[in-house]
Amino acid sequence: MTYGLKLARRIVSRPALSGWAGAELAPGPDIRSDDELLDYIHRTHNTVYHPSCTVKMGADDDPSAPLDARLRVKGVEGLRVADGSVMPDLISVNPCITTMMIGEKCADMLKEDA
């Protein structure tokens, strides 16, 4: 992230953007060192996206899938993941309702497995 902030500053400082770029509002031109930038990042960052596909479910023999088809974490007893991270691939619509249905399905599987 610190590299990204420095890169953004370099890009915006190019002559081709001089007519478009205004003053840096945040973190501000006085924040220069990696430590200062990292502090700013820790205090202000968040995601505006719907994180997904980071802990995908898959077949038992799929080494790239940390979850089995019933959303259980492989090798960990009693732990399941039921959010957008379980999707093996990005979907083409807003993932909100899909994620809610993953939670509903997981609740059903928990009842079945009890």
pLDDT in tens, 75-109: 999 999 999 899 888 888 888 898 999 999 999 99
What does the longest C-alpha to C-alpha distance in the chain come to?
65
Is the pTM higher than 0.75? The answer reads no
What single-letter amino acid sits at 56?
A: K
The whole-number pLDDT of residue 37 equals: 95
> What's the average model confidence in pLDDT over 15-34?
91
Catalytic residue among 2, 27, 36, 50: 50
- The arithmetic mean of pLDDT across residues 42-60, rounded, is 82
* 27, burial (CB in 10 Å: exposed 0-12, middle 13-18, buried 19+): middle
| Residue-level pLDDT at 50 | 60
50 is catalytic: yes
